[in-house]
Each structure stands twice: as C-alpha cells, then as structure tokens.
Amino acid sequence: MAAQNVKQVLQAKLDSKNYDKLMALANDKLHKFVADAIELTKPATVFVCTDAPEDIDYIRKLAVKNGEEKPLGTKGHTYHFDGYNDQGRDKEVTKYLLAPGKTLGKGINSMDKQEGTAEIYGLMDGIMAGEEMLICFFCLGPTNSDFSISCVQITDSSYVVHSETILYRHGYEQFKRFGNNPGFFRFLHSQGELDNCVSKNYDKKRIYINLDDEIVYSVNTQYAGNTVGLKKLALRLAIKRAEAEGWLAEHMFAMGVHGPNNRVTYFTGAFPSACGKTSTSMLPGQTIIGDDIAYFRKKDGQVRAVNVEKGIFGIIQDVNAEDDPVIYKSLTTPGEVIFGNVLISNDGKPYWIGMKQPIPDTGTNHSGKWTKGKKDAKGAEITPSHKNARYTIAISSLENRDPLADAGEGVPVGGIIYGGRDSDTWVPIEQAFNWTEGVVAKGAVLESETTAATIGAEGVRTFNPMSNLDFLSIPIGRYIQINLDFAKDAKKAPPIFSVNYFLKDEKGKYLNGMADKLVWVLWAELCVNSDVEKIETPTGYIPKYEDLKKLFKDNLNKDYSRADYVKQFTVRVKQQLAKIDRVEKIYKEQVSDAPEVVFEVFSKHRDRLKKAQEKLGDNISPFDLESK
C-alpha cells in the first residue's frame, strides 16, 4: 500500500483524536501495518491506546462493559472465561510460516508461508466488522534499555490488552523514541464471532508465526497463551532475533537469592510445567524479578539478565495461603487481578482446585452453570476450576519483588538452574563441571516425567531441552550451539546447576520435602560465591553433608540426618547411564544438526560413570566419593 493510500485509510477510519495519537509515532512501517489490518478486518471504530492512565482505564472498563470480564466482590478483581474447547496453548494449530525450502527440523510445526498467509487472511477478512479495533503499544524488557523490544498489539479483545497492561511495560512513549526504526514485533489478533462472550468458531482457531517479518497472527481464540502476543508467541520471535544478534531469549525465571551478610546473588532457572519453576522463584526469604521469560546479554564481559515481563500469568491450581503465602495474599486483597477459568460461587467469589478451602457444590465456570459431578459430552467429569486455570497479577503487587526488577541494565547472573521431574536418577542438586557441561548435561538433557495420577502412564519421560522445546524458532542443534557459544567471551561464565525435587525411594516415597528446595538453592548461592567445598561425582559437584545439615537447621529448623543425605545424594549409576542412552538416541535420530560436543560430553559422562561403577558399584554413597 502506497504511503498516500495508508494515510487515506487511517484518516477515513480513525477519528481526529486517535489519528493524532497514531501519527505522533513517526513510523512508516507501523502506519502501514495498522492500515493493512483495518483494510483486512474492517472494524467499525479504532482506539489507539497510549501510556496515559485514562487510556489504560478505558481498556479496563471496556473489558467489563463488553462482558469479556466480570467484576468480583473485591475491588479491582475480575474474572474471565475462555470457551470449553479453548483452555490452553494449541500446538496443533500453532505453526511457523516458512519460505519454500526452509525447515526448522523434526518436531517443530510449520507450513508454507504463502499458503498460511492466504489462509489466515481469509479467516480474518472482515472479522472485526461492527467491532472496535484496539491498537496498543508495549515493551518487552525494561523501557529505554539495550534489552528493550518495542511491540504493537492489534486486537478486538479488551481482555487481551487488559491482560497485557498488567503483564508488560507500557510502550507508547518508548515507540516515540523508536522513531522510524522498523525493528518492532507485530501482533494481529481477533477473537472472532462470539457466543456468550467466548470464541464460537474454535474449530477455525489458528496461530501463525511469520519469523521473517516478525509478525504473529491469531484468530478464533481467547485463551491468553494463544492471544496475548507478547508472551510465548513473542518468545518465538525473540529466540530468532537473539540468534542473529548474539544474545539469548530463555524460558526462565529470574530471582535474587539472599546469602550471608546481606549478599544477593541472582539466579535464573528453567523448569518444564509442574516441575517447581514458580515455587522456586517465590521461595520464602528470597526476591523475585520474574517467573517466566528472561533475556540475556553480555555487558563488559558480564552476563546480565532482565525479566521480559512485569506481571505473572500463573497457574492457580494448588495456590494457597500455606504453600504460597505471598501470591495468595495478592490474590485475596484489593488490587488489579484477573482470574481465568476458575469457579465463581453463587455469591460471586472465586474458587479453585487446591486452594485448601471448601469449594461450593454449585456455581459458574468455563462450562457454564456447574454442579458437583457435572460431566461433559464425552462423559468426563468437569472439575470446579480448570486444571490450567490462571491468575494475572502485576509483580509490583508482591511483597517479595526485588528492588532491581525493572533495572534497565539487568542483573548480573550468578548461576543458572535447570530442573525436571525425575523419580529415580538426578540428585536434588548438582553443579556442572563447567559451562559446556552445564549446557549439555543439565540443560540439553532436561526431561519431565509424567505420573499415573495425571496422565495415566507413570514414568513417561518427555524430552524438553532447556524447557524451551515448544517455543523454538530455530533448529534444536543450532539453539544448543548458540547457548554453548554465548559464554565464550564472558569474563566469568555463570555456574550451571541441575535440581530435582521429585526423587523417590524404592517404595515410591518422595525423598525431598516441599520446603527442601530452599536449602538446595541456598547451597547453590554459597557454591557460586566459593563459600563451601564440594564433592566431585562422575557428573558434577554435590554438597557436603555438614553444609546441608547447617542449612537445614538454620533455615528450616530441621534436623537433617546422614541417612537422608545418603538416600538423596547416592549416585544411581544404572539410571544415569540409561538417561544418557535415552537422550543420546533422541539427538542421533531426531536432531540432525546436533553439535558434536553434545556426544563428546555424553561419552565422557558414560566413561566416568562406568569407571566409578567398576570400583564402587551401582549405587555410590556420597561419603565414598568424599573419601576417595
């Protein structure tokens, strides 16, 4: 579209106030994107949202006015329901649009760019007729920073942009400073035709990602993971950009771990879903920067990280006053909170599974009017709240927010943690020998083990390198290589640790308590700062008993026995070898571009384990290693 035509389209559809707000951003690519979206979706009106409080308030009130959210009794609290068939990220219809001849490798969903673009344009043609188009600006990472990525979200869903105003830093003024720079992310979404305020045509749900043009299309869906473009959809764009520019975009929390003498050491960490990620970032006595996505850059040879977001879109199941006091307090006191897909009682209060309070037998949830024992069309029982029910809050509402949560220069990364769900192999915490071994033997081998209670087949291990497999926009091998290369010119590469909160004994009993993770992380903080000695195992370094005993007593007032230490930190050689064989097979068969160093590290670990096995047996006590 020619520049003159762009201006004509904008003037014809925007009133003078919104036109002036848009044109104050002197960016030709932005203006064309908006004009193209108007021509395609044909909205009745257009609202341009600046950073001004009155504009943000307009969005907040609009979400209630149009029924996408409904108010609760506590001031500032609202709830939102997604459709019964729209309760999570939809992998099947989330695809990369690639030019002919391009591929991202096995397991990464993609399709022809021209075909996909034509399909999405067809679905979006006239889809906003009679509706108001909302144009909002946000910033990934702190504003006015080397980490900043400007973004524009176009949608007809006030719930989507209301969520984004909580989750992301406002970006209109940042866009002004951006000038005519074309390097911003673009997101175009429509919830489509609605039935009782939820997307009706979920069978035509599509989430398509154009990596070359850094644009995401999303249609006929309301669930935030498919529609809040700046979350995991933007992570995919960021991974691709990071590859080109020499930084990292990771599916990681960032937190401050508080050591002796008021020392704060900053850690980041990646865990697959339900493996302890959020609970680690919210450990008592520690401070949170962010719970989900982090960007990494090197500044004067130092690795630094920022939280991409300023809010939390968290799973609410099992959040309760006993286990999650800080989050629970934020969810039960006045302030801006959106509850998603929880049960609303007849007197207008939110309830969810695992809140450790009696749940009413009747109410309203994502399935409509609900009574205990209600079943869906397939005969499956409908739980009071969905297992993926969510809450959206600002990190500023949490008492444990770190003072550097919005620091434009980021925080120095003292250590990196990878954790999975593993019943029989990894010890509770272990430090890798070096950066390369950490990337390969801690991050690139990450697995999450299913349980019979949730899946129906206990012990199935899902391969998920760096807990980022679902969001990779580059081949797996290339992704591992850029992680390996990242620390090469760093003055000090952050130590890398593995953790495992789910180790069991032969009878299936957990060997770790829920609170014990605090001790493992505090030991890692001491380790990073060279305050403790370590025991060398065939696969890394583990704590000494005396140090853990003191940490347990000082922080949990718990007597930690030598017997518990031996059970937890025994090297299980057969299981370790089986894991190497299992993951190595995946890399050989499914990752055609796997770096050779991956197999070299596997070989070294296998050799060291077998030598130890010959000398000390299949199950090696940490005391035997300490005395060697």
Instruction: Assess contact for 314 and 273: CB atoms under 8 A.
Output: no
What Cα–Cα distance (Å) separates residue 292 from each residue in 5, 184, 555?
41, 21, 26
Query: Cβ-count burial of 323 within 10 angstroms (0-12 exposed, 13-18 middle, 19+ buried)?
Result: middle
User: Encoding tokens for residue 445?
Assistant: 């081998």
What Cα–Cα distance (Å) separates residue 74 from each residue in 336, 403, 521?
10, 28, 36
User: Encoding tokens for residue 601?
Assistant: 């590290």
Percent of the chain as helix, strand, coil, to the nearest 5: 35, 25, 40
Instruction: Assess contact for 622 and 566: CB atoms under 8 A.
Output: yes
* Active-site pick, 49, 136, 139, 275: 275
Instruction: Assess contact for 110 and 104: CB atoms under 8 A.
Output: yes
Helices 545-556 + 562-569 axis angle, to 10? 110
Q: Which residue has the tokens 């007032």?
A: 557
- How many whole angstroms separate alpha carbon 330 and alpha carbon 327? 5
Q: Which residue has the tokens 């220069």?
A: 409
- How many whole angstroms separate alpha carbon 426 and alpha carbon 433? 15
What Cα–Cα distance (Å) separates residue 293 from each residue in 37, 459, 529?
29, 28, 25
HEC profile of 436-479: HHHHHHHHCCCEEECCCCCCCCCCCEEECHHHCHHHCCCCHHHH
Ordered DSSP codes for 326-339: HHHHHHTSSS-EEE
- How many whole angstroms separate alpha carbon 542 and alpha carbon 544? 7
Instruction: Assess contact for 540 and 551: CB atoms under 8 A.
Output: no
Task: Please name the residue ranges forming H helices in 3-72.
Answer: 3-13, 16-23, 28-41, 53-65
User: Encoding tokens for residue 322?
Assistant: 């006993």
- Residue 136 is among the residues annotated as catalytic for this protein: no
**Which residues have a catalytic role annotated?**
275
